[in-house]
Amino acid sequence: MRIAAVGNWFLVLLVLCQGAGTAVAVVTSIIVFGDSSVDAGNNNAIPTIARSNFPPYGRDFAGGKPTGRFCNGRLATDFISQYFGLKPIVPAYLDPEFSIADFATGVTFASAATGFDNITAGVLAVIPLWRQLEYFMEYQQKLRRFKGAAVGEVTLREALYVVSLGTNDFIENYYAMPARSAHFTVEQYQDFVAGIARDFLVELYHLGARKIDLSGLSPIGCVPISRTGNVAGGGDCRDEYNRVAVGFNSRLQAIAAQLNANLPGARIVYTSVYDIILDIVNHPETYGFENARLGCCATGLYEMGYVCKPDNILTCPDASKYVFWDAVHPTEKTYSIVANYLMRTALGQFLL
């Protein structure tokens, strides 16, 4: 049976468990670090061109609001939050519309265009990972004051920490800029970035995190902008980029296993989005899509951010028929499928 042919048995199981009085596992909050895959609008608050707080972004979000999510609607982390019985969105920490009362059940410190590597964040002047960690420490203090020390500690200990980044380290930094590629082979750079990821997880652990979702890379060679640049390959997925993603993912998987063995009480899961997204791209009709080659916005070949303009007449009328919203980022429908898949696989253990 193909990955997609699953339905919503997870939701049925959840309802049955709740109806029978069975305790569904405590996940008190969703706390997120990462890039545009999980940024809900933090970049709106900083001087960078890596923004999406304008139409047509957000046109299928509640109220048609462009929040700063690089999507037509919600992200996978929003759906995951809802699956755990929390709020249907995970708000951005720097969004002035939200307060610690909102952040108590979920918050994202993510910044579009960032990476594990500090140099990656510098390319478009976005929030580096170390700064996201500083925001988290600030958040911890606010949460303890809001909920009280004891309850705040329980919330932080039982939260699910999502770490989703790495794509920009390779596409935006290694392949597009000379600084790292001049000093590292791609394999050496994979090791270098994976080392940063490992150190970051250890820091999170020492700050109290126990349930951690370390997300792998998607098939980055299959996003529309990669295929657009693959002229010699006839617009097919770029195999080199996909091989890099697979190699990096194997390193992340090994890190999760190693840290689980060495950090008492740690429950670090490696979540693989590579296979599910590749299957969607290769078999879009199975998932109810009509187009996996182009993004919905404008021509769908290269547009993202400010190039994805609201008045472009080529933007598709129905994003649910498209795997990708712009030339890099999935549509809300794709994110919902990925979130459902992750809940049925790696993240399901946190329901028990």
Residues annotated as part of the active site: 36, 326, 329
Q: 211 has which bridge partners?
A: 160, 267
293, 296, 301, 307 alpha-carbon torsion, rounded to 10° = -160
* Terminal-to-terminal C-alpha distance of the chain: 25
Listing DSSP states for 135-204 in one string gives HHHHHHHHHHHHH-HHHHHHHHHSPEEEEE--HHIIIIIITT-HHHHTT--HHHHHHHHHHHHHHHHHHH
Helices 186-206, 129-147: crossing angle, 10 deg rounding: 20
Q: Which helix (H) or strand (E) holds 212?
A: strand 211-215
**Euclidean distance between CA atoms 32 and 162, whole angstroms:** 5
Q: 291 has which bridge partners?
A: 322
Apex 125 CA angle, 123 and 128, nearest 5:
90
> Alpha carbon 123 to chain centroid distance?
20
**Euclidean distance between CA atoms 35 and 76, whole angstroms:** 13
Q: Which helix (H) or strand (E) holds 33?
A: strand 30-34
- Cβ 108 vs Cβ 40: under 8 Å: yes
Q: 215 has which bridge partners?
A: 271
Amino acid at 151: V
Supply 243's token pair.
Answer: 């091989």
Where does the chain have alpha helices with state H? 9-19, 76-83, 100-103, 118-123, 129-147, 149-157, 167-168, 178-181, 186-206, 224-229, 239-262, 274-282, 332-344
